Amino acid sequence: MAGKPLKIVPPVPGVAEIYDLGRGPETTAQRVERLQTEARLLAREEIERLDRDLRRLADQARTIADGGEAYPAGIRELAGRIGVDTARTRRDPPRPSGTLALDP
């Protein structure tokens, strides 16, 4: 009796959660806590991605600002201001209103 051949499934990105069948269902409070923890982790990932993008933007802006006559004067001036602003923002990031820090 020939069945269908097995197919290799590519790995799923991220870590799979293992559910313990011996424990009961999640309470609403446990679910809220779990979802808030996940939201904080996702927010942290977004902040790290933004930081990376700001670094790249600052580097590119400095390159243009220091590019001499190859770039129009207005663009060089704008790139210089962007470089300074992104450096300042990375050094002193604004905090969301009503919070003291992003880490719990």
pLDDT at 25 over 90: no
Q: What is the pLDDT of residue 87?
A: 72
Q: What is the pLDDT of residue 103?
A: 47
Q: What's the CA gap between 88 and 82, in Å, rounded?
A: 10
Q: Are 65 and 76 in contact (CB under 8 A)?
A: yes
pLDDT at 81 over 80: yes
Report yes or no on whether pTM surpasses 0.75. Answer: no
One-letter amino acid identity for 54?
L
In degrees, rounded to 5, the angle at the alpha carbon of residue 82 between the alpha carbons of residues 81 and 84 is: 65
* Structure-token match 């060089």, residue found: 76
Residues 27-79 have pLDDT tens digits of 999 999 999 999 999 999 999 999 899 889 999 999 999 988 999 999 999 99
pLDDT band at residue 95, thresholds of 50, 70 and 90? low
Q: Are 61 and 86 in contact (CB under 8 A)?
A: yes
Q: What is the pLDDT of residue 46?
A: 96
